[in-house]
Homo-oligomer: A and B are copies of this chain.
């Protein structure tokens, strides 16, 4: 069976659980203790040179890392990833946006405020990250006020990637009330067949 090395609270890991559940692919979950440094242990680094979760073991000794690359691997050949060359690139456009302009602000603010605690001396940096998080939410609102989903006019892995941390943005003290199109999209995603919450166990 597939084995997913993950941290259950992580939105990046949740993306993979959500897609696998929607595809009906069973997976064994291996919880990594990040504060204990499990991902820095030599045995884990030998598996995944990038040293982060999620990492998936596709077959014994064959590992793939980076949440959005894992989504791409499993979505390839399914309705979750369009095959048209430009639409495919647009899905990736939003997934790169997610990792570069969304996750570093919304996920980190959530982690500091609701999970790990704000590191000493980082209060000003938290404010800056929240401002940039709101910039990302405004970009999403712009897209979602024109289209029901991020690409292809339908639910794809671009939506899964952006949903992961957006639907728990309140844990980073983001107020979504000013983003009506985004809130409607959150509901639309949650109504997809075989939806899973971040807190659900398989």
A→B interface (CB under 8 Å) = 45, 49-52, 58, 64-70, 72-73, 76-77, 85-86, 88-90, 92-93, 95-97, 99-101, 103-104, 121, 124-125, 139, 142-143
Contacts and interface: CB of A to CB of B under 8 A. Distances in A.
Nearest to A124: B121
A97 B65 CA distance: 9
Contact of A50 (B86, B89, B92, B139): B139
Nearest to A52: B101
Which 5 pairs between the two chains have the least Cβ-Cβ distance?
A73-B89, A69-B93, A66-B96, A69-B92, A66-B93
A98 B110 CA distance: 23
A68 B88 contact: no
B139 A66 contact: no
